[in-house]
Structure 1
Amino acid sequence: MSTIRWIEDHTQQSARWHSENATPLPKRTVVADDRVKAADAYRLACEGTALLWRGDFHNARQLLRAIGRRVDRKASGPGSSPGETFLRNRQHSRHRARVLGKLLVLLDDGYTLALRRAPDVRQACLEAYGPPTGPTAVPLRELLGVIGAHQWRAKGVDVPALGSRIHPHYGVFAPVRGEYVDLVARAPLPPATRRAPATSTAFDLGTGTGVLAAVLAARGIDRIVATDISTRALACARENTHRLALADRVEVWGPGLFPEGRADLVVCNPPWLPARPTGPVEQGVYDPDGTMLRGFLTGLAGHLRPGGEGWLVLSDLAEHLGLRTRQELLDAVHAAGLHVAGRIDTKPRHPRSRDVTDPLHAARSAETTSLWRLTAGPPRQGGAVPAPPSGSRHRQPLRYAMRTS
């Protein structure tokens, strides 16, 4: 546990230092209030000095936005390729997080924020951090994320495929991109699950909020084991399972990737980009070195029942960014003793795919999300589905384009 120290009223003060992004302890901390100018705050933050805020809460938010604008003015332009543009974008995001993370606030022993016009953040912090352990200094930017996560958790996310809402927790990826949920809701179930639905079993690997496990239950799968390596995700999935009255059919297991045993269907929606996340929420998007993807592929054959299928739900955005090729994905599939029995494609519907100001717009606008149906052992009659090369013009005007062997 790190301790942050500063001088206030000619007296040395201290508090526990907490950063979800594993940001190192600031080199130096000074007290700041409404009198500080944005230019000075930006300069100090860039030098590594943290500013412990003692002024008005809403003024602190305005200062944070002003610092952010100054950081963005220094952003480099697009690179000579989509991959270079992506790397520059990630470097800027990490730099931005470091600078903005230098504006701090102090939470007292009960998570009270003693600033003028400050909201009541006690419940939000309790949900995100657990029981308080004494006065704690946190980046204001992080605290705003905690507040937003509490609001998402209370309101929930509407999931049309369920006809219900899923309530995400702090640090757990929310199912706001509905296309991957719809793919799992509409793909043809493996023959084994259709022949004996009352005894069918499915694994949902990396369950997050538990949304895909709930969709599989709604489709008639008798028993689902939902796994995750994140303790926050496991707690979130359990809560949603109970909310949806599915606790008798969905077992939440972990931390880990594969549970023991075999299943008729194994579903995995790993993070889509092989890059390093800058915070807990980004762990649902970025998978360093494609670790989870490789773990799913290499372990799948040993966890499928005869006639079972593995469903890999994956975007090809990494291919458009030059982070992974289609051939590399297929090689990993074949090296694991797997075969492609079919693939279902859909185009993204999220706003960023239409944002022409996004530096990565060209790649996002070409993105396709696919559900790959994988089997173990010899290919089924008709052979594997040939995969078009990355970037080829295989798009179809239909919302869903199904390819089966």
Structure 2
Amino acid sequence: MSTIHWTEGHTHQSARWHSENSTPLPRRVVLADDRMRADQACRHAAGGTALLWLGGDFHNARQLLGAMGRRVDRGPRRAGTSPSDAFHLHRRAKGQRAGVLGRLLVLLGDDYTLALRRAPDVRQACLEAYGPPRGPVVVSLRELLGVIGAHQWRLKGVDVPALGARVHPHYGVFAPVRGEYVDLVARTPLRPVPRTAFDLGTGTGVLAAVLARRGVGHVVATDISPRALACARENVRRLAPSGRIDVVGPCLFPEGRADLVVCNPPWLPARPTGPVEQGVYDPDGAMLDGFLTGLAAHLRPGGEGWLVLSDLAEHLGLRTRGQLLAAVRAADLRVVDRIGTRPTHPRAQDPDDPLHAARGAEITSLWRLTPAG
């Protein structure tokens, strides 16, 4: 357990250090309050010094964070000579930005109280994200704002037209805000309706609930994330008839075989920098490969697998269609059908997005797979 130290007046203070994206303990800490200017804050943060906001105003701290972000964004940006270069430069710039902004810190008390003027009550949001308090803890303001936002998403939920209901994501669990992959699973014909189905990497449990609503007799949903397992259990209790869905894990495949195995793995073979990014980035395509290599052994005779996958990685030069099809063949599988749809999320139509060309060409597909034999 890391401990962060600072000096307040002539008194040495300390607290636990917590970072969801495993940011190392800051080398040096200085105190900051409403008198701190954005230029000064950026110089400290860019040099590796953290700023612990004590005794100031919460909204002023947020404004300082925004001003720091605008200054970082004004810095020079290299243009990529290829889609792959553009992606890696974009990721590097995002990482550097996160590193600078992540050095503006706040102190949470014994019960997650944020003792700043005009501060919101963050205790419930922190309890949901971090679990029971274990004494004072220092976190980045940027992370805390994400925790607050996740709590609001959890209360409000995400509307899922395919269910006619809302799904409530937890902190660190990818929210089903991109509805095209849900719609693909909701509308692809079931011939016949399976008695059993597996939903691998269930996240919020949204696809498991869709399958149950479509009449699948028994759905087993899995995930490797304890947060996702808790989130899915909470959602399926509300969304599915009692006993139709079991949530198990942490694992990829559950025991046994199914008539249908559905998997919507993270779409980009790159390393995530935090828990939320685990829904988008799959290091070295490990989950995709695990699904393909394990599928045949977990299908009942006549069963099939549904791989729901964006081709964004292909447009970014991170994976080719040939490599995907070769992996399918190597797993002794064959493609029965492919149903595709274009994304409708705002970033696909944003010309200022550095990855606009790739996003504009993106197709999300449901690949129907069966054993080759």
* Bin for the TM-score computed over the shorter chain: over 0.9
> Partner residue of 1:362?
357
Could you tell me how far 1:245 is from its partner in structure 2?
4.2
User: Could you list the per-position Cα deviations for residues 345-399 of structure 1 after superposition, in whole angstroms to 9, with x for gaps in the alignment?
Assistant: 0000000000000011000000000000000133xxxxxxxxxxxxxxxxxxxxx
Could you tell me how far 1:72 is from its partner in structure 2?
1.2
The letter for the 2-side match of 1:351 is P
Distance across 1 between alignment mates of 2:22 and 2:371: 40
Distance across 1 between alignment mates of 2:354 and 2:78: 8
1:231-380 mapped onto 2 (5 Å cutoff) = 231-378=226-373
> Partner residue of 1:77?
78
The letter for the 2-side match of 1:358 is D
> Partner residue of 1:217?
212
The letter for the 2-side match of 1:169 is H
Q: Does structure 1 conserve the Cα–Cα contact (< 8 Å) formed by 2:21 and 2:273?
A: yes
Distance across 2 between alignment mates of 1:67 and 1:247: 50
> Partner residue of 1:87?
88
The letter for the 2-side match of 1:291 is A
> Partner residue of 1:154?
155
Distance across 2 between alignment mates of 1:307 and 1:101: 51
Q: Does structure 2 conserve the Cα–Cα contact (< 8 Å) formed by 1:227 and 1:234?
A: yes
Gaps of 5+ in 1: 379-405
Classify the secondary structure of the residue corresponding to 1:31. strand
Distance across 2 between alignment mates of 1:75 and 1:275: 24
**TM-score under structure 2 length normalisation:** 0.99
Q: Does structure 1 conserve the Cα–Cα contact (< 8 Å) formed by 2:209 and 2:240?
A: no
Classify the secondary structure of the residue corresponding to 1:370. strand
> Partner residue of 2:16?
16
> Partner residue of 1:41?
41
Classify the secondary structure of the residue corresponding to 2:151. helix
* Pair 1:166-2:161 in alignment: no
Distance across 2 between alignment mates of 1:204 and 1:182: 15
User: Are residues 133 and 139 of structure 1, via their aligned partners in 2, closer, same or farther at CA, if it must alter by over 3 Å?
Assistant: same
Does 71-80 or 49-58 show the bigger shift? 71-80
Distance across 2 between alignment mates of 1:83 and 1:280: 24
Classify the secondary structure of the residue corresponding to 1:204. strand
Distance across 1 between alignment mates of 2:226 and 2:268: 22
Distance across 2 between alignment mates of 1:148 and 1:78: 32
1:388-403 mapped onto 2 (5 Å cutoff) = none
Classify the secondary structure of the residue corresponding to 1:306. strand
Could you tell me how far 1:333 is from its partner in structure 2?
0.3
The letter for the 2-side match of 1:293 is L
> Partner residue of 1:59?
60
> Partner residue of 2:196?
201
Classify the secondary structure of the residue corresponding to 1:144. helix
Distance across 2 between alignment mates of 1:40 and 1:238: 47
User: Could you list the per-position Cα deviations for residues 238-272 of structure 1 after superposition, in whole angstroms to 9, with x for gaps in the alignment?
Assistant: 00011224341100000010000000000000000
Classify the secondary structure of the residue corresponding to 2:86. helix
Distance across 2 between alignment mates of 1:59 and 1:366: 41
Q: Does structure 2 conserve the Cα–Cα contact (< 8 Å) formed by 1:173 and 1:284?
A: yes
Q: Does structure 1 conserve the Cα–Cα contact (< 8 Å) formed by 2:212 and 2:240?
A: no
Question: After the TM superposition, which segments of 4 or more aligned residues of structure 1 sit over 2 Å from their partners?
Answer: none
**TM-score under structure 1 length normalisation:** 0.91
When the two chains are superposed, the root-mean-square deviation of aligned CA atoms in Å is 0.8
Classify the secondary structure of the residue corresponding to 2:286. helix
Classify the secondary structure of the residue corresponding to 1:302. helix
User: Could you list the per-position Cα deviations for residues 9-62 of structure 1 after superposition, in whole angstroms to 9, with x for gaps in the alignment?
Assistant: 210000000000000000011110010111110010011111000211000001
The letter for the 1-side match of 2:61 is A
Q: Does structure 1 conserve the Cα–Cα contact (< 8 Å) formed by 2:199 and 2:221?
A: yes
Could you tell me how far 1:75 is from its partner in structure 2?
4.5
The letter for the 1-side match of 2:243 is D
User: Could you list the per-position Cα deviations for residues 154-210 of structure 1 after superposition, in whole angstroms to 9, with x for gaps in the alignment?
Assistant: 000000000000000000000000000000001111x3x43xx5xx10000000000
Distance across 1 between alignment mates of 2:137 and 2:59: 20
Distance across 2 between alignment mates of 1:92 and 1:226: 36
Aligned residues: 372
Could you tell me how far 1:78 is from its partner in structure 2?
2.3
Gaps of 5+ in 2: none
Distance across 1 between alignment mates of 2:78 and 2:162: 40
> Partner residue of 1:114?
115
Q: Percent of aligned positions with the same letter in both sequences?
A: 76
